[in-house]
Amino acid sequence: MTLEGLVASAIGIVTTVAVYLLLQPRAFATALGLTLLSYAVNLFIFVAGGLWIDAPPVLDAGRRLSTDPLPQALILTAIVIGFATTAYLLALAVRRFAVTGDERTHLTPKHTEDAR
Amino acid sequence: MSDAATALFTHLPILLIVWPLGWGVLLLLGAARSSDHPPGSDHPETSLRRERWLSLSGAAITLLGASLLSWDAAHGAIRVYTLGDWPAPFGIALVSDRLSALFLLLTALVASSALVFAIGSWDHRGRAFHPLFHIQWAGLNGAFLTGDIFNLFVFFEVLLIASYALLTHGLGAARLRVAFGYVVVNLTASALFLLGLALLYGAYGSLNLADLAHRTAALEPQPLFLARVAAALLLVVFALKAAAAPLYLWLPAAYSAASPPVAALFAVMTKVGIYAIIRVHWAVWGGEWGVLGSAAFGLLLPTAIVTGLLGVAGALAARTLSRQIAFLTVASVGTSLIGVALATPKGIAAALFYLVQSTVTVALLFLVVALIAAQRGEIGDAIQPAPALRDPVALGLVMLLAAASAIGIPPLPGFLGKLYLLEASLDHPGQSAVWLTLIAVGALTLIALARAGVTIFWHTHPKRITVWPSGDSRVLMQPVVALVVVVAAMTLWAEPLYRFTYAAAVQAADQTAYARVVLEQAHGYAPWTRPYDGTLPQTEPREAP
């Protein structure tokens, strides 16, 4: 199996698990699913510049090979944003549980009508 | 023009992002200090008043900046601000043209009104309202100004992070329940956004919008396929942000649960999705007839029609006024998207006109509904008989005006927007569907709002109730009056506004001019890095675009 095939299947499997968890009706599973989804996405960005073995992400005229450095910079941004939003989601989930005493994520019509 | 004025206009794009962001941080420092009242510090009332004045003055300057930028853009020049003076496409470029300016000014008008409304009533019912408000404003401005698609993602996140917290402003079980779903939906969309961006980078080796437009024609079949998949993914993401069917289900719950000034600000937020579709799918990729003319863009017209109809169906079924207005937001998104889906300058111009007026109308409706709800005691904004309002005439007239514009009754801008849309669809194959939808949406909106209006203003109990304190009503009426004036101005100066939106559409469609201005510094030196072979790219000059 090629390296590309391995990485692609890894991303696929992580995404599958993430989607399964996202569809669970509990806040904890949803948060876990989102975290896994962001891992899969970050790996996907990583391979956007192609997979290179034994090549640093620094362009250097003297060296023969280097990987595309930009995807790694993009991932860094994506990781920071993903980390912050996940932290907020968890804080929100805890607050929500404290106020409503309910960990389920679905909304019934009554909940939305209660908005006022 | 003097040197100082030239420097101001050169730096205006970055100032419009840095100013509200910095102001938000400044206010956050003040909020953090005033929340724990150590002995000897100012009375909470004093610090609240100071925070309000600071927030208002910051907003006034952002509003002034947006007006200046619009005035400048109206002359037709495309201004490029390269961050750190790195020439595009290597660095990030901010680009302001008519399309950006239109959205910046719309945001500034709606946000200022919402802020004044919040100062009269809501801002002290939770923590850090003012900082978050300015940070969300900065995110909106950034999304409208950026010329780089990854940077667009970053600004989407900035405005979303602020909106996550603003949605829960005032707390309460209902808001916390709704906010969780809202955050999850948007985080999932962000993941899809990133997938699309990775595919784009894989295909083009660039993320600058002008560079994407410029390179699409030269793509090999395999990268072109990747770019098509990316375009479809991004369309899904933008449709979700815009709340197009079937991805609108998050909106009614979130907007009706949000506090009214926040809901008014959020009225602009769905428009970011429409802006992104116009900017990326239409201006950069040439819409349905572009090289990336994917099946996805062809699906936009049916999607828009279904969105309009489902939105208005929701408004008919809604049992509270704020929920009804939230569904009317969905309907207005559908109506605007019809113009976008026509993919002609005329269609885009009509869509922009409709979008601007519907955003102002929806924001006005959210504010008026809050005032009405405050005078009906425990019944609030539920559409059911209640004791009479304290001042039915003023509120009734404003409600009537906003409702008439939402329905599309002449001579209000809602009517003109629909007229322009009908006109733009004249030679389109989907003309009959567009006409039927627009007329049906108008008629059903009329039924929905008439039912609500009759119940609220005329079906009153004779007995009086004690009215809840609703804040300073003199302050609360100011933003409402301001928005009414904006609606009136759009009625009187509809023709110049339409000319502006038409010029914006034509300018946005001119990819060659856009690419020439943005890539000016770098052209000849921006090498192809696709297919990437692991070695330093060739830097021989290529032909100017």
- pLDDT, tens only, A45-68: 998 878 888 888 777 666 678 888
Average pLDDT (B118-147) is 90
In contact, B155 and B245? CB cutoff 8 Å: no
B524: in domain: no
More confident residue, A69 or B329: B329
Instruction: Flag whether residue A93 sits within 8 Å of chain B, measured between CB atoms.
Output: yes
Mean pLDDT of chain B: 88
A115: nearest CB among B257, B529, B536: B257
Query: In the 8-state DSSP scheme, what is residue B280?
Result: I
- Among A7, A52, A59, A92, which would you mutate to test the B interface (most chain B Cβ atoms within 10 Å of its Cβ)? A92
Distance in angstroms (rounded) separating the CA atoms of residues B170 and B127: 8
Q: In chain B, which residue's Cα lies nearest the Cα of A82?
A: B187
Q: Which residues pair with B386 in a beta bridge?
A: B460
Average pLDDT (B390-396) is 84
- In the three-class reduction of DSSP (H, G, I as helix; E, B as strand; rest coil), residue A114 is classed as coil
Query: Pairing between strand B460-461 and B386-387?
Result: parallel
Q: Is the ipTM of this complex over 0.90?
A: yes
**Which residue matches tokens 């909020």?**
B31
HEC profile of B464-484: CCCCCCCCCHHHHHHHHHHHH
B545: in domain: no
Query: With an 8 Å Cβ cutoff, are B201 and A61 in contact?
Result: no
Express as a percent the part of chain B with pLDDT over 90.
59
Peptide bond into B246 cis (omega under 30): yes
pLDDT reading at B515 higher than 90: no
pLDDT reading at B272 higher than 90: yes
Q: In chain A, which residue's Cα lies nearest the Cα of B160?
A: A85
pLDDT reading at A105 higher than 70: yes
In contact, B340 and B347? CB cutoff 8 Å: yes
- In the three-class reduction of DSSP (H, G, I as helix; E, B as strand; rest coil), residue B41 is classed as coil
Taking CB atoms and an 8 Å cutoff, what residues of chain A touch B223? none
Instruction: Flag whether residue A19 sits within 8 Å of chain B, measured between CB atoms.
Output: no
B2: in domain: no
pLDDT reading at B213 higher than 90: no
Taking CB atoms and an 8 Å cutoff, what residues of chain A touch B201? 45, 48-49, 70-71, 74
**Which residue matches tokens 């003012």?**
B130
> Which tens digit of pLDDT belongs to each residue from B437-485?
999 999 999 999 999 999 888 888 776 655 555 555 778 889 999 999 9
Residue B544 pLDDT: 45
Q: What tokens appear for B31 in the block? A: 């909020």
Residue A115 pLDDT: 46
Residue B45 pLDDT: 76
Strand spans (E) along B26-82:
79-82
> Which tens digit of pLDDT belongs to each residue from B51-106?
899 999 999 999 999 999 999 999 888 999 999 888 888 889 999 999 999 999 99
Q: In chain A, which residue's Cα lies nearest the Cα of B183?
A: A89
B535: in domain: no
- Among B177, B186, B195, B211, which would you mutate to test the A interface (most chain A Cβ atoms within 10 Å of its Cβ)? B177
pTM > 0.90: yes or no: yes
Q: How confident is the model at residue B513 (pLDDT cuts 50, 70, 90)?
A: confident
Domains contained in chain A, CATH given: 3-53+67-113 (1.10.287)
Instruction: Average the pLDDT over each of B351-355, B469-473, B512-516 and give the range with the smallest value.
Output: B469-473
Domain region containing B207: 9-35+45-518
Instruction: Flag whether residue A54 sits within 8 Å of chain B, measured between CB atoms.
Output: no
pLDDT reading at A116 higher than 50: no
pLDDT reading at B390 higher than 90: no
More confident residue, B391 or B282: B282
Q: In chain B, which residue's Cα lies nearest the Cα of A77?
A: B154
**Which residue matches tokens 């943005």?**
B518
Query: With an 8 Å Cβ cutoff, are A95 and B184 in contact?
Result: no
Taking CB atoms and an 8 Å cutoff, what residues of chain B touch A66? 534-536
Q: What tokens appear for B403 in the block? A: 């409702």
B297: in domain: yes
Burial of residue B45 (CB within 10 Å: 0-12, 13-18, 19+) is: exposed
Q: Which of residues 66-85 of A touch B (CB under 8 A)?
A: 66-68, 70-71, 74, 77-78, 81-82, 84-85
A52: nearest CB among B168, B319, B534: B534
Strand spans (E) along B160-228:
none
A88 Cα distance to chain centroid: 14
B243: in domain: yes
Long-range contacts of B213-217 (CB under 8 A, 24+ apart): B213/B283, B213/B284, B213/B285, B213/B511, B213/B514, B213/B515, B214/B511, B214/B515, B214/B519, B214/B545, B215/B528, B216/B284, B216/B285, B216/B290, B216/B291, B216/B292, B217/B291
B542: in domain: no
Residue B446 pLDDT: 95
Q: How many domains does chain B have?
A: 1
Q: Which residues pair with B461 in a beta bridge?
A: B387
Distance in angstroms (rounded) separating the CA atoms of residues B349 and B36: 51
Average pLDDT (B134-155) is 95
B257: in domain: yes
Task: Measure in Å the smallest separation between the Cα of A54 and chain B Cα atoms.
Answer: 11
Distance in angstroms (rounded) separating the CA atoms of residues B222 and B394: 62
Q: In chain B, which residue's Cα lies nearest the Cα of A51?
A: B534
Q: Dihedrals φ, ψ of B79, to 5°?
A: -100, 135
Query: With an 8 Å Cβ cutoff, are A114 and B176 in contact?
Result: no
Instruction: Flag whether residue B539 sits within 8 Å of chain A, measured between CB atoms.
Output: no
Instruction: Average the pLDDT over each of B191-205, B323-337, B527-541 and give the range with the smallest value.
Output: B527-541
